[in-house]
């Protein structure tokens, strides 16, 4: 219970706040008289949140699949929240940069180390059944995952290696978009034909992606890092944090994801490696970090490290 004599300064501040926007403080105080006390469930919106896990089948393990994907999307949102603070900071310091990077990494560490919930947490037989009801959808269509990539690195590092030499900073975004590495999961480069996985994804998100790519061209994590004073760019802790983030997203997570896919798709099909992912990709080749060689900050790795990227998986 606060003491009455402490109320004056607060009332003064409230008065200042509302006068500044031409509002009557008295009305707001009267409103407070009738406002409901907040509860945990209203604030966290638990009812809404816990109503979002809707199964398409009767198989119990589908709940694990839906729940874990939703947890990933929530964590992706929190990662983007932190990245955006670096992107928008007008007085960026190495200290701020590093602390945000560590937050982002902790989230991604959590996603990599928890991936066993997917790999071990579902019955293969059930997975092989309920996955049929998901086709042609795939985690490939997670827009937030793509936003994290656009906001982390220079666009060129997300371009399919086969086309990098023809793409530079003057290339129109629409052209670069067609040559992003992930187009390979759903596009036949000889005929130009796109799979339904890709067509649906682009119909929903392409415009947003193009705007986001352009906006982050000059404020992704790498360009912001390069804006720091040279001494900060050489700061051991900061470089370590950058490398850790790169490794976690592009090796640890990719590896955990690949192993989960391998476990279900291969063992569920009795080792028939040609079985497709629900999105229809040549998954075994497409998902392996050794083939994709996604690297956010190539300048921070030695030549040997770059050459061996993903080889230990
Ligand atoms: C048993 C669990 C999982 C399996 C078997 C699996 C399988 C696959 C496969 C085969 C692909 C390639 C595209 C396709 O043909 O569908 C893919 C892509 C993808 N999945 Fe998963 N996935 C699983 C869990 C997850 C989870 C929990 C997430 C988190 C959101 C996720 C996010 C993604 C992303 C972002 C891609 C695109 C990656 C890229 O382009 O390299 N997946 N997944």
Question: Which residue from 107, 130, 131, 138 has its CB within 8 A of the most atoms of ligand 1, so it is best to mutate?
Answer: 138
Domain layout of the chain by residue ranges: 8-37, 63-307
Q: State which ligand 1 atom lies nearest to the alpha carbon of 145.
A: 35
Distance CA 218, CA 6 (A): 48
Which residue is closest in CA terms to ligand 1's atom 32?
139
* Residue pointed to by tokens 């950058």: 242
Give the tens place of pLDDT for each residue, 104-113.
Answer: 999 999 999 9
Ligand 1 pocket test target in 63, 144, 257 with most atoms within 8 Å of CB: 257
Nearest residue (by CA) to ligand 1, atom 36, is: 140
Cα–Cα nearest to 114, from 268, 253, 267, 214:
253
Cα–Cα nearest to 92, from 236, 221, 234: 221
Please tell me if the CB atom of residue 219 comes closer than 6 angstroms to any atom of ligand 1.
Answer: no
The residues, ordered by sequence, that sit 6+ positions from 229 with a Cβ below 8 Å of its Cβ are 94
What are the tens digits of pLDDT across the range 23-37?
999 999 999 999 999
For the segment(s) 63-307, the CATH number from 2.60.40, 1.10.150, 1.20.58, 2.60.60 is 1.20.58
Render pLDDT for 268-306 as a digit per residue (tens, 0 to 9).
666 554 567 777 778 888 888 888 899 999 999 999 999
What is the Å distance from ligand 1's center to 140 Cα?
Answer: 5
Model confidence over 138-191: pLDDT tens digits?
Answer: 999 999 999 999 999 999 999 999 999 999 988 999 999 999 999 999 988 889
């Amino acid at each position: 219970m606060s003491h009455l004599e402490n109320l004056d300064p607060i009332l003064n501040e409230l008065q200042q706040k509302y006068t500044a926007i031409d509002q009557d403080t008295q009305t707001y105080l009267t409103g407070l008289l009738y406002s409901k006390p907040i509860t945990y469930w209203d604030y966290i919106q638990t009812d809404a949140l816990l109503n979002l896990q809707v199964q398409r089948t009767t198989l119990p393990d589908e709940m694990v699949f839906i729940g874990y994907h939703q947890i990933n999307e929530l964590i992706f949102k929190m990662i983007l929240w932190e990245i955006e603070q670096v992107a928008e900071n007008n007085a960026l310091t190495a200290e701020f940069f590093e602390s945000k990077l560590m937050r982002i990494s902790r989230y991604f560490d959590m996603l990599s180390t928890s991936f066993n919930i997917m790999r071990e947490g579902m019955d293969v037989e059930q997975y092989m059944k309920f996955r049929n009801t998901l086709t042609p959808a795939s985690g490939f269509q997670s827009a937030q995952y793509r936003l994290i990539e656009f906001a982390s690195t220079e666009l060129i590092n997300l371009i399919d290696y086969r086309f990098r030499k023809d793409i530079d900073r003057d290339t129109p975004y629409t052209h670069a978009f067609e040559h992003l590495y992930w187009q390979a999961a759903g596009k036949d480069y000889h005929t130009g034909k796109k799979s339904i996985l890709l067509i649906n994804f682009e119909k929903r998100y392409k415009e947003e992606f193009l705007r986001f790519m352009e906006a982050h061209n000059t404020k992704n994590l790498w360009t912001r890092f390069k804006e720091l004073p040279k001494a900060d760019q050489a700061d051991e802790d900061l470089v370590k944090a950058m490398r850790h983030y790169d490794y976690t997203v592009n090796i640890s997570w990719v590896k955990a994801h690949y192993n989960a896919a391998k476990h279900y798709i291969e063992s569920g099909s009795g080792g028939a490696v040609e079985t497709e992912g629900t999105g229809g990709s040549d998954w075994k080749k497409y998902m392996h970090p050794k083939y994709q060689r996604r690297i956010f900050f190539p300048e921070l790795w030695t030549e040997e490290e770059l050459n061996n990227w993903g080889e230990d998986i």
